A and B are shown apart, each in its own frame.
Chain A
């Protein structure tokens, strides 16, 4: 009997100890020194890297970064479940979001370019041709001056920020024909690289030797062209907060927007800094010139 009791007692003690430990750590991490940022996978690498740098410089703080998609980020921040919502889109563009409650902090600009399989033999399309390709009015690359290959459309998932941006500014608000959908840019690139006749679209940072990026109306997809809005397919990357940020959230967002991050991390990871832009765009897509720097 005594042995059994002893084991039971031990189990109980361990359980209680774990409980106390969990409670303690909960208290510590709740003391305003930890924030969570959730949302866009396109923005995730930047926030993660910035978070690591920040916590390295400010010991005792903790910045937890999770993916989940733009929709998740915006709905979580709207419910107040997290401190920061990462988004590829203006909150006003996402259905079901009360944009007025959220405060927008633009931390980066991302350019998006159409990419095709290398065997297609096309390096430039007009916007009209691009729309024809994506709406299915043209079905063979021969019709737009390429090889005799059927066109294979590959889209990002519905509601993806990259797709929304591409359809709005690349296809001039035309909806793409229903076609294959993939849920990440890496997957899109590898499928375009291996599928003859494939066309899709990714952020500049995903373009590599395995795929061919396209010029549109003889404007090349370069960062310089994005800053002047000659290349129209780009979007801001947003950190959203519910109401004005305070405490660590405020400090972290200020850190991400500071020149220290904007001139190093943002560029290294293949984004553009909003400070580089010579134009500004609002939620409805209107462009205004700014001085830039």
Chain B
């Protein structure tokens, strides 16, 4: 009698393995919840602050997005505060697109060399070099930009040297390693038999590369470029040091202009929480956040298309 009861109780009790199972799930779920909570909190905070410009300060969204004069401290001709963010938005996009255009050929070229042409040297020399480039802090890039790129630009193109062109040069070097290593991953993911089939058909190595490997890796390469753009869009410190931070519409590549991030970093310490100047900066942060969301969506979309092929 007693032994059967004991046995029953023993069988009905949760085994150690089952307890471990629950414990493991609990731990990973807590970690997940914490991260989600942080993300939601950040988005909620930035959004509530950023929207205040339009709700409590009564700035129209259209004026904000299309206005060309950024001077939140004073009222403009129409009696409303001047919070036109267009120069910054244009500056951010210009610098992002230009640096991506310049960096892409170099990145893909390097990745092709690393993977297809000389994998040995690639693994030994190029891989560590790109990894080193990733590790350099952005303030160092900014400092080099300020003391080398800006004077060079000034000497060649005139003006003060500060502007989109210098920013592009600095960002190009900054996003290059990211795009390169992601492109290399994309190329590596192309199955070996694609290359073998192509070579067996009599194609040369270069024909194989640009007709087969690059085509097959296109979605991956696009993802790499968009990822680089996302990084360029969000970079603050290095850009701020070389772009000149003038809230003016860029009328040439060497005229001082500004980006969303550079205005944020220079301005936030000089404003008072809750004032219009402060809220306007939060609105810029909201635009930044929204754009990084868009970049993420694009990466997702490309990834999904790539899978269908």
Contact = CB atoms under 8 A, between A and B. Distances in A.
Interface of A: 41, 67-72, 74-75, 78-79, 94-97, 152, 157-161, 175, 178-183, 187, 190, 194-195, 197-198
Contacts of A178: 69-71, 246-248
A182 B266 contact: yes
A158 to B, nearest CB: 6
Q: Which of A67, A68, A158, A179 has the most CB of B within 10 A?
A: A158
Contacts of A72: 269-270
A6 B150 CA distance: 60
B160 interface: yes
Contacts of B246: 178-181
Contact of A69 (B70, B248, B269): B269
Contacts of B71: 158, 175, 178
Given A158-B72, A178-B71, A183-B266, A96 B160 contact: no
B269 A183 contact: yes
11 contacts: A41-B269, A71-B269, A96-B271, A158-B270, A158-B277, A159-B270, A179-B248, A180-B256, A182-B266, A194-B150, A195-B160
B73 A95 contact: yes
Interface of B: 69-74, 146, 150-151, 154, 160-162, 240-241, 244-248, 256, 258, 265-278
A198 B154 CA distance: 13
B269 A95 contact: no
Contact of A75 (B244, B247, B274): B274
Given A152-B160, A181-B245, A182-B245, A71 B274 contact: no
A71 B73 contact: no
A179 B70 CA distance: 11
Given A72-B269, A158-B277, A178-B248, 16 more contacts: A71-B272, A75-B273, A95-B73, A95-B272, A95-B275, A95-B277, A96-B276, A96-B278, A157-B245, A157-B270, A158-B270, A179-B256, A181-B247, A183-B245, A183-B269, A187-B241
Contacts of A95: 73, 272, 275-277
A190 B154 CA distance: 15
B248 A71 contact: no
B161 A195 contact: yes
Contacts of A70: 269-270
B271 A71 contact: yes
A195 B242 CA distance: 13
Nearest to A72: B269
A152 to B, nearest CB: 5
Given A95-B277, A158-B277, A159-B277, A74 B272 contact: yes
A73 to B, nearest CB: 9
Q: Which of A41, A68, A195 has the most CB of B within 10 A?
A: A195
A197 B160 CA distance: 9
Contact of A67 (B73, B267, B269): B269
Contacts of B248: 178-179
8 interchain residue pairs of minimum CB distance: A69-B269, A159-B270, A96-B275, A96-B272, A183-B266, A75-B272, A157-B266, A180-B244
Given A69-B270, A157-B270, A195-B154, A180 B162 contact: yes
B80 to A, nearest CB: 15
A161 B72 CA distance: 16
Nearest to B267: A157
Contacts of B269: 41, 67-72, 183
A180 B278 CA distance: 20
Contacts of B276: 95-96
Nearest to A198: B160
Nearest to A97: B272
A76 to B, nearest CB: 8
Contacts of B146: 190
B12 to A, nearest CB: 22
A235 to B, nearest CB: 15
Contacts of B271: 71, 96, 159
Contacts of B73: 95, 158-159
Given A158-B267, A159-B267, A179-B256, A79 B273 contact: yes
Contacts of B267: 157-159
A153 to B, nearest CB: 9
A180 B161 CA distance: 11
Contacts of B161: 195
A181 B263 CA distance: 9
Nearest to B243: A180
Contacts of B244: 180-181
B272 A180 contact: no
A180 B270 contact: no
A159 B151 CA distance: 29
A195 to B, nearest CB: 5
Nearest to A81: B273
Contacts of B266: 157, 181-183
A70 B276 CA distance: 16
